[in-house]
Structure 1
């Protein structure tokens, strides 16, 4: 018995008409009738009662129909079952996440998780940029979002977001203002908000502010963003943070502090996604990095 015999039988049983079944099978009615007779002979049972105008299933035919359908379904399932059996196992990998990641960027990470779901389970790991860069270099993390600049030659990166920054200033002093000039802050002390978590960025920002005439500094060891906001609200200092109100950093603002864009100074924070170059070039992350390049093809700008 061949699979074709069962396919022919099911087609005739469903149509109860040899001519219609033959058209469905793209063959002539005469050879189809002969194949059914061959099957009946092999099984030792008559499967159809035939008359000039009617075709009906016999008791044996009715019993065979669900069996034949089940066998054909099993055969039809072989290609995808085989593919499932031999495809690579799903790997769990970790993606580094620095603090204050913008919701739009988090959504992109979620899209990457969905795109690579069949091959990778992506789990997130928090940390500062220096720690995350080190973890990627050591192979503990597959990927990581990092605040630029990063200069590790072993890593490859793709820019994913540029965030415009604004001044966190005392609300009462700048009430009713839409912008602030950098010179208006020269008598205030600048409080760095990310010197430990983003040291390279902090050094660059400090240099830019010094060149712009901001000389006073107030370094507060271990201060959280809300603590910095409290100090700004006192009226004698300012800081810098993301300008977009959708940024989670705005959750740390307290009454008495507000964020204004600069009129004559355009600081920004660049974020990139990094991975080990050797793991992407025909390594274990080649497929994941291909997904990264697709999902993050267009950098975000806020």
Structure 2
């Protein structure tokens, strides 16, 4: 049995969806399914009940899940435990930074860097939320800012910001408008960026839109948020983005696109500070996390 098999198993067990687990693992669904079948064959136990619509853990799968998590946690803790035991007293600590972090939140990151400067130099590491979470789980990053939700039980999180979302629409079609309703957009196509750059919340958002009658979908590939704006500016489509004028996400917008409040559909993007629980509870990040809790305090609301 290889360690990767346990990683694959835990991802599927937590997502209970092979497509979502494959996206989280940055791999295709077909080889992931094969690796799970290989693991089941080696253990002589069926770990999942699968049908067209559902994936469920079997009794054997339920038993294996906490064992696999414990093994992976022990392996993932090796790098930071070695650094703690052998590294210099004053080193470098990496903090993950997803795209579009609000200036108010960056200011608090700067404050954290100043408060811990006598212990470590805080360096920022860019990436999408899924990759940054993986890096924290694997011990490559000490902390990360991440778009919530984050459901990994090995990780702890502190909510640090809530940003209101608005509908990205054609400025020509909605000229003179200060707001829009979701009912007005129900015949429009909802367009989103590629799954690999979207925060986890957008999966929740899509389900909520479907429940409210928005059925048409367009998922772009090979682009970023600016590609969403291009499509919206020239067709009957809409998306979602931060409403705040100070949000860096406004830099992705093109001509003839505006963002309006949706009066009958409140949507908020939550950002949290995330770290490995075992590194804070008596581990090498104990003091750092305590200071971070003081610095970030109450979440910023925008």
What's the TM-score, normalizing by structure 1? Answer: 0.69
Q: Distance in 2 between matches of 1:89 and 1:167?
A: 49
Query: Deviations 1:257-298 (Å, cap 9, x if unpaired)?
Result: 100000110011111001111111121111111111100111
RMSD: 1.2
Q: Which residue of 2 aligns with 1:90?
A: 90
Contact 2:164–2:267 (8 Å) recurs in 1:
yes
Q: After TM superposition, list the pairs within 5 Å mapping 1:197-216 onto structure 2.
A: 197-198=197-198, 200-216=200-216
Q: Distance in 1 between matches of 2:136 and 2:251?
A: 29
Deviation of the 1:199 alpha carbon: 5.3
- List alignment gaps of at least 5 residues for structure 1: 1-87
Q: Distance in 2 between matches of 1:160 and 1:95?
A: 14
Q: Which residue of 2 aligns with 1:82?
A: none
- List alignment gaps of at least 5 residues for structure 2: 1-87
Deviation of the 1:186 alpha carbon: 1.4
Select the structure of larger CA radius of gyration.
1
Q: After TM superposition, list the pairs within 5 Å mapping 1:69-88 onto structure 2.
A: none
Deviation of the 1:223 alpha carbon: 2.0
Q: Which residue of 2 aligns with 1:187?
A: 187
Bigger shift: residues 170-179 or 191-200: 191-200
Contact 2:280–2:289 (8 Å) recurs in 1:
yes
SS in 2 for 1:240: strand
Q: Which residue of 2 aligns with 1:166?
A: 166
Q: After TM superposition, list the pairs within 5 Å mapping 1:43-54 onto structure 2.
A: none
Query: Deviations 1:118-153 (Å, cap 9, x if unpaired)?
Result: 101110111111111111011100000011110111
Q: Distance in 1 between matches of 2:294 and 2:222?
A: 39
Q: Distance in 1 between matches of 2:269 and 2:197?
A: 13
Deviation of the 1:253 alpha carbon: 1.2
Q: Which residue of 2 aligns with 1:260?
A: 260
Contact 1:147–1:270 (8 Å) recurs in 2:
yes
Q: Which residue of 1 aligns with 2:221?
A: 221
Contact 1:93–1:121 (8 Å) recurs in 2:
yes
Q: Distance in 2 between matches of 1:119 and 1:125?
A: 19
Q: After TM superposition, list the pairs within 5 Å mapping 1:1-302 onto structure 2.
A: 89-193=89-193, 195-198=195-198, 200-302=200-302
Q: Distance in 2 between matches of 1:225 and 1:199?
A: 12
Bigger shift: residues 193-202 or 165-174: 193-202
Contact 1:195–1:203 (8 Å) recurs in 2:
no
